Amino acid sequence: MLKLHIKDETSRLRAVILGTAESCGPTPSLDEAYDPKSAQHIAAGTYPLEKDMLQEMEAVAAVLKKYDVEVFRPKVIKDYNQIFSRDIGFVIDNKFIKANILPDREREIEAIQYIIDQVPSTHVFRLPEDAHVEGGDVMPYNDYLFVGTYTGSDYSQFITARTNKEAVDYLAQLFPKKKVVSFELRKSNTDPKENALHLDCCFQPVGNGKAIIHKNGFLIEEEYDWLVNLFGKENVFEITKEEMYQMNSNVFSIAPDVVISEKNFTRLNTWLRSQDITVEEVPYGEIAKQEGLLRCSTLPLIRD
């Protein structure tokens, strides 16, 4: 049995589900794109190739192995994108929550069911039909639960609007002792530089009490200010619009003092090192073309 335990984003990682790029299928057509960045690369003929994405993911697997993290992988489904395991589920405390995601992606959950089966069934939850959530929008932070959302009346018109108010309410009921704080995110179906697909595309805690943030990812300035005040301005690393586009906030912590980051994130990686954080650099620029990076590809199960 797996004894799930996740209280935050940075405690020492012991077990994780890492997605797979194996047999991820041909380049999608434009009308199959789930986000504006993928669409941009499909149109430009620069959409990533399976062989490159496989190499990138194996580089991450090697780092996790180096730190003695138990790594689970999804069962491979032929010609199917299974890279972003964070979208399909998440762990808070000792509970596994299956995300209510785009119907086209239901098979992704089936591919990790063998792992979920190792969790007591009383600790596995599925959101109600009308509650939409993806793991990239959900961040436990000790007593807090941060949730990215979009509650505009035009929600249904945004393929990029992934987590709704019903999901926020459900999580608040499921975790009555946590302070659930939701943040309205900026959405665009067409411009990836004006689109925060998930909360982790514009914000993420790192180290001890530090955070990476992009102001324009938040629709409501007061909500952004609240976060900055919580961490303290001196503990926050502000990323630019271009850095958000390159997914700089989507790194992944193995421990408070160890972060896996993309090798080209020069400014961020320099800052992380200045905070006494070891940066394990990996190539991830191809996978990033699908508007997801290291946090998106990982689903932590156990942290100390």
Predicted confidence (pLDDT) at residue 73 exceeds the cutoff of 70: yes
155 — pLDDT class (breaks 50, 70, 90): low
User: H or E stretch including 223?
Assistant: helix 221-231
Ranges 15-29, 41-55, 180-194: which has the least confidence: 180-194
User: pTM to 2 decimals?
Assistant: 0.94
294 in any annotated domain:
yes
Query: b/e for 76-88, b at 16 or more Cβ within 10 A?
Result: ebeebbbbbbbbb
Strand-pair category, 258-262 with 210-213:
unpaired
Residues 6 or more apart in contact with residue 213 via CB below 8 angstroms: 202, 203, 224, 227, 228, 236, 237, 238, 239, 249
Place of tokens 């998440």: 90
Q: What is the pLDDT of residue 34?
A: 67
Find the mean pLDDT for residues 217-246. 96
4 in any annotated domain:
no
User: pLDDT by residue (tens digit) across 187-205?
Assistant: 776 776 777 789 999 999 9
289 in any annotated domain:
yes
Find the mean pLDDT for residues 180-187. 92
Predicted confidence (pLDDT) at residue 102 exceeds the cutoff of 80: no
Q: What is the pLDDT of residue 3?
A: 97
Find the mean pLDDT for residues 217-245. 96
User: H or E stretch including 44?
Assistant: helix 36-44
- 254 compared with 105, residue with greater pLDDT: 254
1 in any annotated domain:
no
7 in any annotated domain:
no
166 in any annotated domain:
yes
Ranges 12-26, 102-116, 138-152, 222-236: which has the least confidence: 102-116
Q: How many domains does the chain have?
A: 1
Find the mean pLDDT for residues 132-161. 85
Find the mean pLDDT for residues 217-225. 96
6 in any annotated domain:
no
Average pLDDT, the chain: 92
For residue 147, give its domain range.
Answer: 13-303
CATH number at residue 150: 3.75.10.10
List beta partners, residue 281: 261
77 in any annotated domain:
yes
